[in-house]
Amino acid sequence: MDIKEALEEFKVIFSIPLPSGKSIDINETVVITWVVMAVLIIGSLLLTRKLKEVPKGGQVFLEMAIGFCNSFSKEHFGRRASVYGPYIGTVFLFLLTANAIPLISPLSIALFDLEPPFAIKPPARDINFTAALSILTILVVFFGGLRARGFKGWAKNLLHPVPMMLPFNLLEYIIRPVSLCLRLFGNILGGYIIMLLVEQALPIPFAVPVALSLYFDVFDGLIQAVVFVFLTTLFVGEAVEVEKH
């Protein structure tokens, strides 16, 4: 399979028949997303089932992570941290896991002799995945602004700093999600293409794809998750910030 075919193919795993005779195709992006969700849900249940007053083991890491998320949220959202902090933390964990899960693929190929290209593909290489996250973020921005300012305050903010800025302020509700979507999609897709090129450059030592996967799936995946969450925090914080006077 060449790179063009690998990029264009989103393999249909199964179909859900509809009464009309048509069907809903569930592709690999959706299935991998479900796997990521299952990992996070099961992980959270395991980490929180036996909490103790004196933390030990995984509870220490859990409390450190939650403490950092709480302080980060309070810094940017103030008294609204309890509302938007969980969303920011969930998006970060979701993206980090989704970007890192393809790390399993080079190991799977070597240990289980699976056929290339890499068995588990990053879901963010599908623009529908990044578009869904970006739309969800801009909805949080929109409704968060309405909730914090009220309709009149939100409409007044569209005229800030001068009324002639109205069309540009409205365009931000389109430009911002498009920017978030394309930035995440482009970076993850670029790393995926490089990994395909490495896979097609056989024979190569096993350590090479594993090392590159550590970079593109873990390090670069972490950077992209941080960038997406940081921009989301800025957008939401700006929308819910109410003028002090």
> Which string of DSSP letters, residue by residue, matches 61-105?
HHHHHHHHHHHHHHHHHGGGHHHHHHHHHHHHHHHHHHHHGGGHH
Where residue 8 falls among pLDDT bands split at 50, 70, 90? Answer: low
Q: What mean pLDDT do residues 177-200 have?
A: 85
Lowest mean pLDDT among 14-23, 109-118, 127-136, 214-223: 109-118
pLDDT for position 208: 63
CA distance 220 to 201: 22
What is the amino acid identity at position 194? I
Residue 48 neighbours by CB distance under 10 Å: 11
Look at residues 26, 188, 179, 30 and name the one whose alpha carbon lies nearest to residue 95.
188
Distance CA 163, CA 215 (A): 47
pLDDT at 118 over 60: no
Confidence of residue 243 (pLDDT cuts 50, 70, 90): very low
Amino acid, single-letter form, for residue 91 = V
Considering only CA atoms, which of 122, 118, 141, 142 is closest in space to residue 130? 122
39, amino acid identity: V
Omega before 117 within 30 of 0, i.e. cis: yes
Report the pLDDT averaged over residues 222-244: 85
Average pLDDT taken over every residue of the chain: 81
Q: Average the pLDDT over 200-228 and give the result.
A: 74
Query: Once rounded to an integer, what is the mean pLDDT over residues 19-28?
Result: 81
Question: Which pLDDT belongs to residue 245?
Answer: 33
Q: How confident is the model at residue 37 (pLDDT cuts 50, 70, 90)?
A: very high
pLDDT, one tens digit per residue, over 124-157 is: 988 999 999 999 999 999 999 999 888 888 888 8
Q: Estimate to the nearest angstrom the gap between the alpha carbon of 38 and the chain centroid.
A: 15
What pLDDT, on the 0 to 100 scale, is given for residue 4? 56
pLDDT recorded at residue 235? 92
DSSP annotation of 126 reads S
88-116: pLDDT as tens digits: 999 999 999 998 887 776 555 444 455 54
55: pLDDT strictly greater than 80: no
Strand partners, 27: 12
Question: Cα–Cα distance between 125 and 98 in angstroms, integer?
Answer: 11
Q: Which of 1-5, 169-173, 191-195, 202-206 has the lowest mean pLDDT?
A: 1-5
What is the model's pLDDT at position 161? 81
Q: So what's the pLDDT on residue 117?
A: 45
Q: Can you give the pLDDT at residue 79? A: 86
Distances (CA, A) of 38 to 41, 45, 65, 105, 106: 5, 11, 20, 18, 22
Decide if pLDDT at 34 tops 70. Answer: yes
